Structure 1
Amino acid sequence: MVPVPFDPEDVTEADAVLATHEHTDHVHGPSQAPILENTGATFVAPDDSLTVAYDDEAWLDDYDLSEDQFEEVSEGDTIEIGEFTVHVEPAYDADATHPVSYVFEHESGTFFHGGDTKPSDEFTDIGSRYDIDLGVLAFGTVGNIADKETGEPVRTKWYNDENQIVEAASDLDLDRLLPSHWDMWKGMTSDPKVLHHHAKSFAAPRSLELVEIGDRVDL
């Protein structure tokens, strides 16, 4: 649906690549393994995401990688990546087998990425423990998506709708909300500008960051 934004071979410097869960648009050998191969970066992910890399896609067989470039994390872990302190937090995605979210702390601010999470009971606690300046949450419509086996269209809801994304952002007490995925899949696209109406009666998120490929957001 959208153009591939870059060739992974063009990435010449990276410390880590992080995955929130095992779905193919989050763990994908042809997109991510060349980055690890060229830069020596570490692939940081929960167990089921690493299973995709190890077993389903055989990254170690197909690319010049070493086992020490893979780091398993789970909820409650904290790791250091350069100047960033990364906290692994819970996520709720019924379509994934083991999703997590990440909180990145740096002297310039705090960043949250929820992968494809929906609202979670844990988000109020996360919002109280961190002062999150910018958070990314998945947003999209319900659509008819072709079943991989039968090809028949199936009513599908992968991401937050307008009310869910604002609920999650409010519980996380985000200063700025950046919706993702809304422009990615044919049949599930949405207009993120409508979130201004849904968010305006809530104290958080305090502002929206609506971006497309080629844009830049500063923390």
Structure 2
Amino acid sequence: MTGSDWGDWLPRAVAAAEPETVAVWYLGCNGFVVKGNRGTTLLIDPYVGVGDPPRTVRMIPIPFDPEDIEEADAILATHEHTDHVHGPSQAPILEETGAQFYAPDDSLAVAHEDENWTSVWDVSDDQFTEVTEGDTFEVGEFTVHVELAADADATHPVSYVIEHDAGTIFHGGDTKPSDAFDDIGEKYDIDLGILAFGSIGNIPNKETGEMVRTKWYSTENEIIDAASSLQFDRLLPSHWDMWRGMTADPTSLHKHAASYEYPRALSIVSIGDRVDL
């Protein structure tokens, strides 16, 4: 991991913001900051690593140094992959802010067993909370519901439904469509839904280095299928910017969504952009 390409302007912008409702900043990859109008700040899957070149090559800037984040109430992790649970990206935030880390069991195993966050950083065991599907917890002004995610590449993925007086946000991690999303769409009124999107590309095999046709994220049709089932008012596609060979054009989703009732709108953002509920 290298230092921020942007200095500290993004953490300062988040800290200074006083949203009327809820503000959401895109950190690139599948990372987000969510800040409510009473100041509660959540981070979801923040990642500032460079991947593992030449297999995974980061295509976007590193927008902040973790040490520059001085205010955070919680980090939510969706699953155990490196670009979602990563000690150098997340443990310094826990160390600096005292935030709580919410994650499913296999994600916590990365923090405790694989990367040993409590030994490398000044992070305590009581900052970790295990979550699973069906759980609900409160973080300041937010109520967070843990729901399923359909990601065959992960061992225990979850999605999060984040409720606030001003509206509701869904973050699906790297989920693909699921029959269960119809029930989730009926259960919640989701104002802004975040789903991973990307192309099918050729990625080097870890052992041999040979190029292998690889699919990690939803395609155009799959992401709209999932957003339709979940009944999103707005769909915000993520992850399409991150890895060499897996990038995609989110503006193409306008045509794919045109004949569906949901999502009613698309929010196409770039790294560093802010949207509000």
Q: Shorter-chain-normalised TM-score: which range?
A: over 0.9
Give the structure-2-normalised TM-score.
0.78
Any idea what the Cα deviations from partners look like across 1:18-59, whole Å, max 9, x if unmatched? 100000000000000000000000110000000000001110
Tell me the residue number matched to 1:77: 135
Higher relative contact order (CA closer than 8 Å, sequence separation 6+): 2
After TM superposition, where is structure 1 displaced by more than 4 Å over at least 4 residues in a row? Answer: none
2:272 and 2:174 mapped to 1: Cα distance?
21
Q: Does 1:217 align with 2:275?
A: yes
1:96 to 2:96 alignment: no
Matched, 1:111 2:169: yes
Secondary structure of 1:87 counterpart: strand
1:44 equivalent among 99, 102, 113: 102
Letter in 1 for 2:144: V
User: Quick one: distance in 1 between partners of 2:191 and 2:181?
Assistant: 15
SS of residue in 1 equivalent to 2:275: coil
**Matched residue type, 1:84:** F
* Distance in 2 between residues matched to 1:36 and 1:214, nearest whole Å: 21
Gaps of 5+ in 2: 1-58
* SS of residue matched to 2:161: strand
How many residues are treated as equivalent by the alignment?
A: 219
In the alignment, residue 202 of structure 1 is paired with which amino acid? Y
Paired position in structure 1 for 2:86:
28
SS in structure 1 at match of 2:259 = coil
Looking at structure 2, the residues matched to 20 and 72 of structure 1 have their Cα atoms a distance apart, in angstroms, of 11
Q: Distance in 2 between matches of 1:8 and 1:146?
A: 29
Aligned to 1:188: 246
1:86 corresponds to: 144
Distance 1:214 1:171 in 2: 28
Q: Who is 2:115 aligned against?
A: 57
Distance (Å, rounded) in 2 between the aligned partners of 1:81 and 1:120: 28
Paired with 1:38 and 1:180, the residues of 2 have a C-alpha distance of 27
User: What does 1:134-149 correspond to in 2, within 5 Å?
Assistant: 134-149=192-207
The AA in structure 1 aligned to 2:252 is V
Equivalent runs, 1:114-193 vs 2, <5 Å: 114-193=172-251
Deviation at 1:149, TM superposition (A): 1.9
Shift of 1:5: 1.1
Q: State the identity as a percent.
A: 73
CA distance in 2, matches of 1:13, 1:189: 31
The one-letter code of the counterpart of 1:57 is: E
